[in-house]
Structure 1
Amino acid sequence: PPPVMDVPTLLSQAPSLVGKHVTLSCYIASASAGGAACAAFRIDDLPGSVNWNGSVPLDGTSLEAASSDKAQQMCGDTGMHPQCRAEVTGIVYDPFGDMGVQGKRNFELRDARIRWLALPEKAATAKRH
């Protein structure tokens, strides 16, 4: 199974993780047809203000369709919402590196799938006797 980490850990280790599967613990935010953000939040004294502690974009063109649809329905703004707590598994990608850009590095997850932590799992896990 891929290693599980938080967003700041991924961002600090991303150059060595390019091309590898990882699982991020985060909150889904800013979801749209173009993708979403897998965001970490700082503890904030000011309710309602955005206080991200890092964010990893989820590529919208390769994001699993059901994950994308649910994210857009529940997590379209930049807030930290309990129903948007998730684990996201995908492949670390460096789009600027692919274009030959040196220096600036932005990392994203491709082929991502969201596992919603705040939602009950389907009843299929219940055993019949």
Structure 2
Amino acid sequence: MYGWDSYMETIGLLVNERSDLAKRMVLNFCFCIKHYGKVFNANRTYCLGRTQPPFLTDMVLRVYEKIKHEPDGLTFLREALLATIKEYYTVWMASPRLDPLIDLSRYCPEGIGVPPCD
């Protein structure tokens, strides 16, 4: 899993009428936030301190637009938005990403050193 790739794949899935798979990708990201505190940049050990760019909200809204007529559409929206709110406050509006001097967030991995070569 790579976060940026998953975002692009979600857009492709929605274009190709596979909202079922796109929905599952969003729910997987929600699972990551619930259990690990963030959406990882990738699921490799040296990436566990990094996050993907904050695209989950856009993914949620795009998927919801396709599934809002389904019986669990609002439940999906609620669960996904709660996860995005959690990530917003605990990742993007917290140290080390939030710079208190300028009150802006930035990409800032938590890891130390360079990832190992494969």
TM over 0.5: no
Q: Which has the larger helix fraction?
A: 2
TM-score normalized with structure 2 length: 0.30
Q: Which has the larger strand fraction?
A: 1
